[in-house]
Amino acid sequence: MAGGNKLTEAAVKQAKPLDKPYKLADGAGLYLEVSPTGSKYWRLKYRYAGKEKRLALGVYPTVTLTKAREKMREAKAQLAEGDDPGAIKKQTKLAKQFAQANTFEGVGREFLDKRKQEGAAEVTLRKIQWILDQKLCPFIGGIPVSDITPIQLLAALRQIEGEGLHETANRAKRVASQVMRYAVSTGRAERDIAQDLKGALVTTKAKHRAAIITPAELRPFLIAVDGYTGTSEVKAAVQLTPMLFQRPGEIRHMEWAEINWEQEHWEIPAEKMKMRQPHIVPLPWQALAILRQLQPLTGYGQYVFPSARRGGRPLSENGVLAAIRTMGYTNDQVTPHGFRATARTLLDEVLGFRVDYIEQQLAHAVKDANGRAYNRTKYLPERKQMMQAWADYLDTLKA
């Protein structure tokens, strides 16, 4: 065969596996290694700095005989220049890995891992992940963070605006800014280019969550809840929403292990709270009665309000909301989150409780006169009294 080559495409194709690996030489150090499994690997034997070395050139049939010979000639040319083809291959591989880690997608993934390690709420992590995967990476994911221009980021954000999702576009800009600032802090970008887009996006006026703030509006709602004919779990969640006035996510993620029956309160761990501080919710006797009725139905599992459709998961975000809609209330009239405003208003204006007790029970990040941050046991006896008075007041309204 010309040039001392000994192999043909037919010979390579027809090479059968044996009990042990064997080699078929092609000449000039190039050979095919056939493994007992039938896999066929191209190898180049060469000498560099007095040492015999091996260079992997690929797997047949992805790399054909012709392609393997081309790669062998490239390696020989590198040797002629005094370079080690094996070292060059390693450097190229590392450079590709480094480039991949420095793309917006790679840095975004790192940023998300960092937020996980910092204990960010699951709902926050899901939102960041969704924005990265669905809204930003399809457009700028493959670009190195140091090369992304403001106009490229704006084009991605304009796509979101084009779907009419103005609030999502603004949120995506904030996520992009967080990723860019992380890239700056880890030495992979010079600056946060998202800052150049200030004022470029349509800003929508903040909508306050609809809330009942008068006794006259609250009474028919409470009566409607008692008449709700859905599942026991959903009904209990709807009943406890105005009574305990915690955030909807905290209510639906309530676990049986968090109920302290002896102390008659609900102990919410820090990782579930918006302010990342553990929180105590005193339970009035009405709430304890609802929970005891529910215990035979769901007490065998983790969550007080498990999802009927998603095994091992809590009630969905729309569970309580859908029940309220079934009762005839629109999104402009009542939202689960709005009951925080209901309690905040009526506990102050009707029942006359101190605002700092109410704010503490709402788990707002309020510092005391000495600048000390939130303490879960602060005003606990007073809050216990307040929560019982609130539940009694709700009963009085219904009656």
Active site residue 364: yes
Bridge partners (DSSP) listed for residue 162: none
Catalytic member of 46, 60, 303, 374? 374
Report pLDDT digits (tens) over 21-59.
999 998 889 999 999 999 999 999 999 988 999 999 999
**% residues pLDDT > 70 (the chain):** 92
276 pLDDT more than 80:
no
Active site residue 340: yes
Catalytic member of 45, 67, 219, 274? 274
Report pLDDT digits (tens) over 354-369.
888 898 888 876 555 4
Catalytic member of 69, 135, 253, 337? 337
The reported pLDDT for the residue numbered 99 is 59
Active site residue 188: no
For residue 146, give the 3-state DSSP assignment.
Answer: coil
Q: What is the mean pLDDT of the chain?
A: 87
The reported pLDDT for the residue numbered 2 is 40
Q: What is the mean pLDDT of residues 218-225?
A: 90
Q: Determine whether domain 104-197 maps to CATH 3.40.50.300.
A: no
Burial class (CB in 10 A: 0-12, 13-18, 19+), 296: exposed
**Is pTM beyond 0.75 here?**
no
| Domain residue limits, the chain | 2-99, 104-197, 215-398
Active site residue 374: yes
Q: Are 135 and 160 in contact (CB under 8 A)?
A: yes
Q: Which fold has domain 2-99?
A: Double Stranded RNA Binding Domain (3.30.160)
Distance set, CA 296 to CA 167, 291, 292 (Å): 43, 9, 8
Assign domain 215-398 one CATH number from 3.30.43.10, 3.90.1150.10, 3.60.15.10, 1.10.443.10. Answer: 1.10.443.10
Catalytic member of 364, 376, 379, 393? 364
322 pLDDT more than 60:
yes
Between 194 and 165, name the one with better pLDDT: 194
Q: Are 220 and 139 in contact (CB under 8 A)?
A: no
Active site residue 279: no
Bridge partners (DSSP) listed for residue 40: 34, 60
**Rounded Cα gap, residues 283 and 305, in angstroms:** 17
Q: What is the mean pLDDT of residues 105-113?
A: 92
Active site residue 51: no
Tokens of 332: 């402009």
